[in-house]
Amino acid sequence: MGLPVFLRSRRPRWQRVLFAAAGSLFLALGLVGLVMPLLPGVVFLTLAAACFSRASTRFEIWLLTRSWLGPLLRRWQLPSRRAAG
């Protein structure tokens, strides 16, 4: 079953493939970074979420709905709640 029309990407196929490949690379680096102390895992996972959101809504939803990873990425995507000034 496919995604509804409003959830489908309007980018050319080659761009979606490129973003999906970059997202996969950043996801792998981010998962390694969660285990290794000197590799910044959250930064790579955030980049993966950004790439997946441009590649496919399905990939973005998959990444953000993981129970062990989704809350971390959703907090990172929220705007800062610090008061200006």
Task: Quote the DSSP letter at residue 78.
Answer: S
pLDDT digit string (tens) for 63-75?
778 887 778 777 7
Secondary structure (H, E, C), 20-65: HHHHHHHHHHHHHHHHCCCCCHHHHHHHHHHHHHHHCHHHHHHHHC
User: Where do the domains of the chain lie?
Assistant: 12-77
Cα separation of 73 and 9, whole Å? 21
Q: What band does 20 get if pLDDT is binned at 50, 70 and 90? A: confident
- Give the predicted TM-score (pTM) of the model: 0.62
**Residue 25: pLDDT band with limits 50, 70, 90:** very high
- Which of 44, 47, 18 lies closest to 31, judged by CA? 44
pLDDT band at 53 (very low <50, low <70, confident <90, very high): confident
Q: Which two tokens stand for residue 72?
A: 């971390």
